[in-house]
Amino acid sequence: MDPKELEIIMETLEEESILKEKIRDAASDMEKSIRVMMATLTGIHSTRRDQLDVLLNSTEQARESCKKPLATIAQIVPKHQYWRWKDLYARHIQNLVFIIVLSDYLRSGKLSSIQDISDCLGLNPEWHNEVHIQTEDYLQGIISVINELSRFAINSVTLGNFEEPFKIQRFASDVFAGFSMLSLKNDALRRRFDSLKYDLKRIEEVVYDLRVRNLGPAGQSQGQSQE
Amino acid sequence: MGFGSRDEIVSVFDSFREELDANNDRRERIIKLSREITILSKRTIFLLHRIATSDNKQDTPDAATDKERNTQSESDDSLVTAERKLQEIRMKPLKQLALDIPSQSVYWQHEKSITPGIQEYIEAVSYMHFIKTGQLIQYEEMKKWLSDDSGVLLIPLPFDEFLLGISDLTGELMRFAITSIARGSGRAKAEDVCSFVRKCKADFERFTPYVRELSKKQQTTKQSMQKIEEANYAVKLRLAEFQSSPDLLDDIAKRSITLPQRRPMDENNNGDIETD
């Protein structure tokens, strides 16, 4: 091989190797904050509804600290190479989606959009070709949220909150309806979609248990006859 | 902020559906074309094998050059055919593939589907280049084979891709060399090939930490190279002990490759290669 060519190739490969390391470093910076937030959020299962907001707000700082690593990644990834490097930190993105969607739902009962999450993480739309929240990562995060909520439904009842499961049931079935519209191939998303059905079933069982005992929210049975 | 009603949620998932479907459709088109490129490239490689072996009727140094001069025109015709076939790949399926890769972003999105066809194509092109020039094709030259007639690059060529495709070539060359020797001809040509591959392998060694599958391919190349080295060893020994005619030398080399185990030379061996 021509020595000059060897040199050029070598240089480029070395640069890319360094780049990979830097992205990994940024991802691991996020990892610590993400762990902290995930740990905090496990507390929702044992927190009374009126104290939930305080718990959720306590994750604010950790969430803020994720902005910088993401901005770093956006700066160092060469133009248009989002897809080349995304796998190095895709898991972290999915976790962040989970954290934000869950928190937002618990606060407002709504499903946050990709735009909402991007804003929350300080992701500049101009960075799109270098870093963005990819649809599949967003969907994966949502499925994790529903999974968490099915557990939360059960624990809410235990904590004496009989309204929550009904809200969760409506939310989960809306999300499920959305997912059902996708023609999923035989991949990771498809497998997790199947888990969604089980979560929905669990939630419906909780709702049934409450209805049957007339423990649902007063007057909010939405026109459905009680057993 | 956020979606509050079922309608809103369903509506956004509708857009996801479109997006995912479009991605899947594109991926399938790319896979199909990549496969086509693979098949056509492989056929060209077989053709190039035939071209390369057709020079090896006789193998003594003098006879080889005379023969080569005589067969030059025949080989050229076939080389012309091979080049034409490769151009056809470039003008048709490759160009079509490029239509589904409108940007660098999309390239990286579908890189795993694109790569198999492109690597096979690189192998074919660099093989032809080697037969023509005895040299390894350069990166810039390779890029021309991935460009259209006006020089616009149709499909990006990352260095990794280039190296892996070339490494496939060296693996292929070694297999070809072994086959020639095992058939009882082509020892001199195999020697050329061997030294070329040895140089390439040495050059590539420094890249192995950076390019993922490269070390595996290097391993394959190394194993093939060892077989040829052992054949050359057997021949050299025979030459040193006796003056043998070229045909016999080819036969020795051939046996050393087809013998199931290599036997160490013992004292009592008077030079006759024992058969099984």
* pLDDT computed for residue A216 by the predictor: 79
* Best residue of A1, A108, A181, A193 to probe chain B, by most B CBs closer than 10 Å: A1
Q: Is the pLDDT of residue B222 over 60?
A: yes
Q: What is the pLDDT of residues B159-204, one digit of tens each?
A: 999 999 988 888 888 877 777 777 766 667 777 788 888 888 888 8
Q: Does the beta-carbon distance from B9 to A178 stay under 8 Å?
A: yes
Residue-level pLDDT, tens digit, chain A, 227 residues: 788 888 999 999 999 999 999 999 999 999 999 999 999 999 999 998 889 999 999 999 999 999 999 999 999 999 999 999 999 999 999 999 999 999 999 999 999 999 999 999 999 999 999 999 999 999 999 999 999 999 999 999 999 999 999 999 999 999 999 999 998 887 788 888 989 999 999 999 999 999 999 987 765 444 444 44
Burial of A83 (0-12, 13-18, 19+ CB in 10 A): middle
What does the mean pLDDT of chain B come to?
Answer: 81
Alpha-carbon distance values, A163 to A159, A174, A207, B226 (Å): 11, 17, 9, 75
Q: Does the beta-carbon distance from B139 to A9 stay under 8 Å?
A: yes
**What is the C-alpha separation between A22 and A69, in angstroms, rounded?**
10
* pLDDT computed for residue B62 by the predictor: 42
> Which SS3 state, helix, strand or coil, does residue B153 take?
strand
Q: Using a CB-CB distance cutoff of 8 angstroms, which residues of chain A are in contact with residue B5?
A: 174
Query: Bridge-partner residues for B153, per DSSP?
Result: B147
* pLDDT computed for residue A221 by the predictor: 47
Alpha-carbon distance values, B45 to B40, B41, B81, B126 (Å): 9, 6, 12, 10
Q: What is the pLDDT of residues B11-66, one digit of tens each?
A: 999 999 999 999 999 999 999 999 999 999 999 998 988 887 775 433 334 444 44
Q: Is the pLDDT of residue B273 over 50?
A: no
**Whole-structure pTM value:** 0.83
Query: Bridge-partner residues for A111, per DSSP?
Result: B3
* pLDDT computed for residue A153 by the predictor: 95
Q: How far is A103 from chain B (nearest CA, A)?
A: 12
How far is the first Cα of chain B from the last one, in angstroms, to the nearest whole number? Answer: 82
Q: Using a CB-CB distance cutoff of 8 angstroms, which residues of chain B are in contact with residue A83?
A: 105, 108-109, 111
- Backbone φ, ψ for residue B183 (5° rounding): -80, -5
Q: Does the beta-carbon distance from A83 to B109 stay under 8 Å?
A: yes
Q: Using a CB-CB distance cutoff of 8 angstroms, which residues of chain A are in contact with residue B102?
A: none
* CB-closest option in A16, A112, A181 to B14: A181
Query: Bridge-partner residues for B147, per DSSP?
Result: B153
Helix axes B159-182, B214-241, angle to 10 degrees: 30
**What is the C-alpha separation between A32 and A38, in angstroms, rounded?**
10
**What is the C-alpha separation between B145 and B88, in angstroms, rounded?**
11
**What is the C-alpha separation between A92 and A192, in angstroms, rounded?**
18
Q: Using a CB-CB distance cutoff of 8 angstroms, which residues of chain A are in contact with residue B1?
A: 108, 110, 112-113, 116
Q: What is the pLDDT of residues B87-98, one digit of tens each?
A: 999 999 999 999
Q: Does the beta-carbon distance from A13 to B207 stay under 8 Å?
A: yes
**What is the C-alpha separation between B109 and A154, in angstroms, rounded?**
40
Q: How confident is the model at residue B258 (pLDDT cuts 50, 70, 90)?
A: low
* pLDDT computed for residue B276 by the predictor: 40
* pLDDT computed for residue B218 by the predictor: 87
- Backbone φ, ψ for residue B222 (5° rounding): -60, -45
Q: Does the beta-carbon distance from A1 to B203 stay under 8 Å?
A: yes
* pLDDT computed for residue B77 by the predictor: 56
Q: Does the beta-carbon distance from B2 to A111 stay under 8 Å?
A: yes
**What is the C-alpha separation between B179 and B190, in angstroms, rounded?**
9
Higher confidence at residue B243 or residue B7? B7
* pLDDT computed for residue B59 by the predictor: 37
Q: Using a CB-CB distance cutoff of 8 angstroms, which residues of chain A are in contact with residue B199?
A: 1
Higher confidence at residue B78 or residue B31? B31
Query: Nearest residue on chain B to A105, judged by CA atoms?
Result: B2
* pLDDT computed for residue B244 by the predictor: 62
The average pLDDT across B145-150 equals 92
Query: Nearest residue on chain B to A100, judged by CA atoms?
Result: B2
